[in-house]
Structure 1
Amino acid sequence: MSNEKVYEEFCSLVLKKSSELAQEVTDIQTKKYPEMQSISNDLLTMREELVNLFAKSFVLGHDERKKNFKAWGKKAGTQCATLNASLEEMLNEFPEYRTILGDLLKSHAKKHNMTIDEFYNMLNILETDIGEVTCYFSLPFVDYQADQLRNSKEALFELSVPVIPISDEIAVLPLVGDIDTSRAKLMLEKALEKSAQLKVNYFILDLSGVPIIDTYVAQIIFQLIDSLELIGVEAKVTGMTPDIVQTVVNLGIDFQKIQTYSSLKQAVNTIKGNNTQRTV
């Protein structure tokens, strides 16, 4: 029998046994990792698709095989990531395909009295495919997890600039910790957005939890106050620590035009006192 016929016969054999082989991998993995039981049905379908691809590899050229495995890897890697499967556990199953299909291949080689070189050529196809599918599976899996981590960081980052309405007229932005360039920009953006949304008359920027500010942050504060004035909101700054005051003086930053108060309470009382005087 020609090598081509031998390859076609092995392809047909694996295709016929694809469900059985996929179930065998599933049983092995579930035994090793019981936590995978809840997603075993989803993984079984994915595994059967992969076994079919391994089978067809023996009758396809390398470029077409590579294209098929890349498509499967992108789909399966993303799917497994959304199922919260462990990348380590998923990668540990690829050697199982090597063992199971390798045993079938060995029996097939004996049946056809294949030479060592002929057997090696078929085994090399399987080895190459397993290496490539491992890579193609890992990339979208890692990309998905990176996206999730990035989204979580962005959500957490937004929580670092909480604009809080304390009355119908007053909103407060209490800052805690260091303010870098990104956070300063977000502070400007959120302060304007929330002030317009809440339709407040006063905005208080509380710096009592900020250890230090630099020239750039000071410029953002000035820009914020000017921008708030343009939309009809009066801005006040509270809680400037001695270290911040010293830095401001050393940098030659002029805060005289900004309404500053030692505490948030003092600023709120001043606003309420002014409003009371206006109503009398």
Structure 2
Amino acid sequence: MTAETSTQKVGSYILEQASEIAQSTYERQRHDLDEADFTNETKLSLTNTTYLVKLIGKSLQQNTTNAMTAIEEFGEESGELVQDENEMIISLIVTVPLIREAIWEAIEPIVEELNMKPRDVIKLPGKIDPLLDQFVYSYGSTYITSNQQLKTKYDSTLEELSTPIIPIIKNLAILPLVGNIDTYRATLIMEKTLEHTRKLQLNHMIIDLSGVVTMDTMVAKHLFDITEALSLMGVQVTLTGISPSISISAVQLGIDLHKLTIKSSLHNALTDLAVLSNPAT
């Protein structure tokens, strides 16, 4: 019996025992992970683990490198489906090493039965480990790439939501700001506001601050810089809903509020611009 034939028989045995090896991996995970992690985190499923083990068995059975390509593709498909970083870490750091352990424990009987020579047994890791390593690489790298693409899409959406410029009538739009505004968001608001103002060809912008919770002095400076920049573009700016904290920041910055058009509410601003009818008239 040649070493190659022995390897093929080990591969056939792994194929036959794939479900049991996957179940053994599952039980090892249950033992190694806290109950909360095991319950809440989606690991490689039994079906996926079984399929991965079968690919390894088929590679040994057929003595072919085709399984490497199949495992690479399977790793990429699995990585694309991962939505959570913890899931990815548990799959790579916990599950894959346990699959390795389960395979070696499972093939002990067939290795003894075949009476494989030590040098032939030593060659087995050189055939099995690269396959698992390829899965880890494909799985992890695909997850990272997909996650970066998702982050780019998320950042783009966040940018649009951070500057929700709403055209009301021709040449007039409202910029309603909501939530906390930090320095990064303030810079983003300025960039997007000036960009949208040019595209929409606005000559009047209402910036409503009634939904802003907090704003420190530096951010307030960015905000008033926006009004200055818009003015330089020939756009008349009306500020509405200024809170006491924003007023205090403006005073601390030495900004002359009398030079700005300020209304107590968005409704009042729209009424004064004849966008809304004034019930009092």
Measured against the shorter chain, the TM-score band is 0.5 to 0.7
1:155-181 per-position Cα deviation (integer Å, ceiling 9, x unaligned): 4443332447899x8734448443665
Report if the CA contact (8 A) 1:102-1:123 is conserved.
no
Match of 1:5 in 2: 5
Match of 1:35 in 2: 39
Q: Distance in 2 between matches of 1:9 and 1:50?
A: 18
Name whichever of 22-31 and 268-277 sits farther off: 268-277
1:81-136 per-position Cα deviation (integer Å, ceiling 9, x unaligned): 14886223212011222222112333333222222221111122122222222222
Name whichever of 220-229 and 174-183 sits farther off: 220-229
Aligned letter for 2:174? A
Match of 1:188 in 2: 194
| Cα distance change of structure 1 residues 173 and 4 upon mapping to structure 2, 3 Å threshold | same
Q: Distance in 1 between matches of 2:118 and 2:15?
A: 24
Match of 1:255 in 2: none
Aligned letter for 2:69? K
Instruction: Figure out how many residues of one structure are paired with residues of the other and give that number.
Output: 258
Match of 2:52 in 1: 50
Match of 1:25 in 2: 25
Q: Distance in 2 between matches of 1:210 and 1:85?
A: 35
Q: Distance in 2 between matches of 1:104 and 1:90?
A: 21
| Cα distance change of structure 1 residues 271 and 109 upon mapping to structure 2, 3 Å threshold | closer
Report if the CA contact (8 A) 2:174-2:208 is conserved.
no
| Cα distance change of structure 1 residues 266 and 43 upon mapping to structure 2, 3 Å threshold | closer
Q: TM-score w.r.t. structure 1 length?
A: 0.67
- How many angstroms does 1:77 deviate by? 2.0
Aligned letter for 1:29? Q
- How many angstroms does 1:152 deviate by? 4.1
Identity %: 17
Which residues of structure 2 form unaligned runs of 5+?
none
- Three-state SS of the structure 1 residue aligned to 2:163 is coil
Match of 2:263 in 1: 264
Match of 1:171 in 2: 174
Report if the CA contact (8 A) 1:164-1:172 is conserved.
yes
Match of 1:14 in 2: 14
| Cα distance change of structure 1 residues 82 and 60 upon mapping to structure 2, 3 Å threshold | farther
Q: Distance in 1 between matches of 2:103 and 2:266?
A: 75
| Cα distance change of structure 1 residues 228 and 24 upon mapping to structure 2, 3 Å threshold | farther
CA RMSD, Structure 1 to Structure 2 (Å):
4.6
Report if the CA contact (8 A) 1:161-1:190 is conserved.
no
| Cα distance change of structure 1 residues 100 and 212 upon mapping to structure 2, 3 Å threshold | closer
Q: TM-score w.r.t. structure 2 length?
A: 0.67
- Three-state SS of the structure 2 residue aligned to 1:111 is helix
Aligned letter for 2:125? L
